[in-house]
Structures are given as C-alpha cells and as structure tokens.
Amino acid sequence: QVQLGESGGGVVQPGGSLRLSCAVSGFTFSNYGMHWVRQAPGKGLEWVAVIWYDGSNKYYADSVQGRFTISRDNSKNTLYLHMYSLRAEDTAVYYCARDAYNPPGSYLDDWDQGTLVTVSS
C-alpha cells in the first residue's frame, strides 16, 4: 500500500526558511518522479516543483523559482522542499505527490495528507 507521510510545516516569519519532508513507503521511490503542489486557504491547487526519479532534473513554478529547492534522498525514501525567503503568499497546505510516469510529466496518482505552512509575523 502506497503511503506518503509529510512533516515540517508550521508558522514562520516573512523572510524566514522552512524545510518540508515527505517520507514514502509501499513503492519503489527511486523509480518515480515526485512533485510538490500547494493550496492556499480556500483556493485551488497550484503546482510548485518536480524532481526526476534520480534527481537529475528539477523544475519550478515561476512563483517560487529561486526561493524554493526540491531534493530527494532515495536511500531514505524521502522527498524534500527547502523554502527560503518566505512570503505571506506562500501560506498554503503543501502536498507531495507521485507522478504516474517515468520520466515525470503526467497525472499525480498518489498524494500525502498535506502540511500547513503559515507565513506570518
């Protein structure tokens, strides 16, 4: 059974940093590309970033380019999102999600429960 468990959310001041982690089990993590998707309170879904199964390629939404870094540790079956220079508009529930294809670039067939990041002074 596929499981994705996220951690690291919380309250951070504007300009601050935070790291989210997404630990996975139930599938061969190193075979799949992974995404981060976020959802601001009461809003829709916004794609944030993707990383290839082996970490060789990474892409970001324009809204986070240069401030967020996606990474992974396949030996630990864990996906990360390092967030820097956080802004109020980054406040959202952040989801990690598995891409159905390899290489990635398709639909997202498994999602974690999400973690809330609040940027506020």
Partner 1 sequence: EIVMTQSPATLSVSPGERATLSCRASQSVSNNLAWYQQKRGQAPRLLIYGVSTRATGIPVRFSGSGSGTEFTLTISSLQSEDFAVYYCQQYNNWPPLTFGGGTKVEIK
CB atoms near residue 66 (< 10 Å): 9
Alpha-carbon distance 13 to 31, whole Å? Answer: 36
**Strand runs labelled E in the chain:** 3-7, 10-12, 18-25, 34-39, 45-51, 58-60, 68-73, 78-83, 92-99, 108-111, 115-119
* Smallest distance from partner 1 to CB 111, Å: 4
* Smallest distance from partner 1 to CB 62, Å: 8
* Smallest distance from partner 1 to CB 74, Å: 22
Please identify, among the stretches 8-16, 24-32, 71-79, 101-109, the one whose residues bind partner 1 according to the rule CB under 8 A: 101-109
* Smallest distance from partner 1 to CB 59, Å: 4
Give the number of residues written for the chain.
121
Answer for the pair 22, 75: CB distance below 8 angstroms, yes or no: no
Determine if 113 is a binding residue for partner 1 (CB under 8 A). yes
Answer for the pair 9, 116: CB distance below 8 angstroms, yes or no: yes
- Which of residues 44, 56, 75, 121 is near partner 1 by CB under 8 A? 44
Nearest CB to partner 1, comparing residues 37 and 86: 37
- Which of residues 5, 27, 45, 82 is near partner 1 by CB under 8 A? 45
Tell me which residues touch partner 1 (CB under 8 A). Answer: 35, 37, 44-47, 50, 59-62, 95, 100, 105-114
